[in-house]
Amino acid sequence: MDRFQHYIDGRFEDGAATFESLDPARGTAWAVMPLADAAEVDRAVQAAERAFVQGPWPGLTATARGKLLYRLADLVQAAAPRLAALETRDTGKILRETSAQIAYVAEYYRYYAGLADKIEGAHLPVDKPDMEVWLRREPVGVVAAIVPWNSQLFLSAVKLGPALAAGCTVVLKASEDGPAPLLEFARLVHEAGFPPGVVNILTGGPDAGRALTSHPLVAHIAFTGGPETARHIVRASADNLARVSLELGGKSPFIVFDDADLDSAANAQVAGIFAATGQSCVAGSRLLVQDSVKEAFLARLKAKAEAVAIGAPDRMETEVGPLCTARQRDRIVDLIARSVAAGARVITGGRAPAGAGFYFPPTILDCSDAPEAPALNEEFFGPVLSVRSFATEAEALALANDTAFGLASGVFTQNLTRAHRMIRGIRAGIVWVNTYRAVSPIVPFGGHGLSGHGREGGLAAALDYTAVKAVWLRTSDDPIPDPFVMR
C-alpha cells in the first residue's frame, strides 16, 4: 500500500501512529496514513511560532511572499492531475470534478499572491495638531486551519492563501477521512520554497484537533466542517482566546418560480444536489417549487436523476460516485427512513445498492405533505433532495428562511423585481440567481447561523488574518506640558 507522511518544520516524517485509509469505491484499504498525537501537534505549532517570529519569513517583503504564492500556484496547476487522482482514490469524489476543481484552486493562490502587497494601512486625520497617526495591518500569528475531506484542496486554499499573503504561519490539519491529497500537497509547499515552519500539514482525529485548537500559541482558528465539531472548537478556543472563523454546513433552499426557465433550473438543481454526490456544504438540498409547475418540474428532475451515470469515480464518464464513508451512507439511510415514516414520498432512489463500495443513488423525496420530515431540516451530505411546494412569493420566502442554517440559496425567476425582493429577504450568505454553485477567488464565501461566521475568499479574508496597530507620532518639540492630562 502507498504510505504518506506529515510535514512539520520543513521535514517529512511518519506519525506517532498510523491508520489504513479506505478506497470508498471498493471499501478496501489502499494506503497507510500518519496519525498525529498531541506532542506532534505541539511540535508543529512551535515550528510555526518560530517561523513567525524569527528566520527569513518575518523579514520577507509582502511582494516576496506573493512570489512564493505564485510559485505554489504554478506547482498546483502542474500537479493537478496527480492531486485529482489521489483525491478521487481516497475520498471517492469523481475524477471529472476533482480534475476541474484542483486546476481552479491554482487561481486562488494567484489571487492572494497578487493581493499580498496590497494589504494597506491608513493615515488618520486626528483632532490633535501635533500628532501624526496611522494604522498598520500586521499578521495575527499562527493560524490553525482545519478542513474536512470534501473539496479539501479548495478549502485549504481559501485559508492558506489569505493567511500566507497576510504574513501568518499555518498548521493545517487534514481530515482523517481521505487526507492523501493534502499530505501530497505538502510536497508542493516544500518545492515552492516556503521557509521551514511557515506551513505545516498533518492529519489526526479529535485528540489532535483539540490539541491544535486549544494551543496557547494559536492566534486564529479557521475551520470548515459540521456545527457539532464547531461547538467543540469554540469551547477549546476559550483556553487561548484565539479568533475563530467557521464555515459550516447548510440546508440551502433552491427556489423555482412558475416563470423560470424550467430546463435551465432543472440542470442547475441536478448540479446543485447531485454533483459531488451531494457532499457539498452549499448543496441545494431543499427544492421549493411553485405549485403550478411542481409536477412538470419534478418530472424533469426525476428523468435527469435516473439518467445520472453512477460508477467508479476514476472514470471520466461517471457523474455520481460513492460516498466517502460507510458511516455517511448509514446516516442517509436512517434519515430517509425517518422522513418516509413522517410522510415523505420517495420519487426516485432511496435505497443503497448491493455490492462493494459506499454508493447511494440520486434520491428525491417529496415532503410537501410531511412538514416535520427530518429531510427538510437535517443536512444529509449526500445525493438526497427534499421537495416542498409553495403558492406565493411570501410563502416561498418564509419556507426558505425556515432553517437554522444560512449559507447558500438559489432563486430561479425571470421577474427582475421579484429576484431583488428575494435577494433582500433570504437570510443566507450567498444568493445565486438563475445559476448555482458558481465560485470565484474574488468573491467572499460564508454564512450565518448554524452555517458559521466569517468569510473566505476576496479581500475580506486576507484582512481577517491581520490585526490593526495604531501608531501615534508626536511632532512637536515642545515639552509635554502636563503628564497627568490625556492629550
Q: 421 near 392, Cβ under 8 Å?
A: no
d(CA 146, CA 49): 17
Backbone angles phi, psi at 431, to 5 degrees: -125, 115
Q: 259 near 413, Cβ under 8 Å?
A: yes
Please tell me which residue in 168, 281, 324, 367 is annotated as part of the active site: 281
Q: 163 near 463, Cβ under 8 Å?
A: no
Listed in sequence order, the residues at least 6 apart from 18 whose beta carbon sits closer than 8 Å to its beta carbon are 32, 33, 34, 35
Looking up cell 420519487, which residue turns up?
Answer: 347
Q: 264 near 434, Cβ under 8 Å?
A: yes
Q: 2 near 32, Cβ under 8 Å?
A: yes
Give SS3 for 101.
Answer: helix
d(CA 376, CA 367): 8
Looking up cell 416542498, which residue turns up?
Answer: 388
Catalytic: 97? no
- The alpha-carbon radius of gyration of the chain (Å, integer) is 24
d(CA 487, CA 481): 10
Q: Which residues pair with 85 in a beta bridge?
A: none
Backbone angles phi, psi at 359, to 5 degrees: -85, 150
- Select from 339, 334, 337 the least CA-distant residue to 373: 339
d(CA 19, CA 458): 37
Please tell me which residue in 247, 319, 379, 456 is annotated as part of the active site: 247
Q: Which residues pair with 346 in a beta bridge?
A: 365
- DSSP element (H, E) containing 21: strand 17-23
Q: 440 near 457, Cβ under 8 Å?
A: yes
d(CA 260, CA 411): 9
Buried b / exposed e across 160-185, counting CB within 10 Å, b at 16+? bbbbbbbbbbbbbbbbbbbbbbbbbb
Catalytic: 393? no
DSSP for 310-374, written as a single string: B--TTSTT-SB---S-HHHHHHHHHHHHHHHHTT-EEEE--SPPSSSS-----EEEE-TT-TT-G
Distances (CA, A) of 467 to 135, 244, 450, 463, 470: 10, 14, 26, 8, 10
Q: 322 near 92, Cβ under 8 Å?
A: yes
Residues annotated as part of the active site: 247, 281
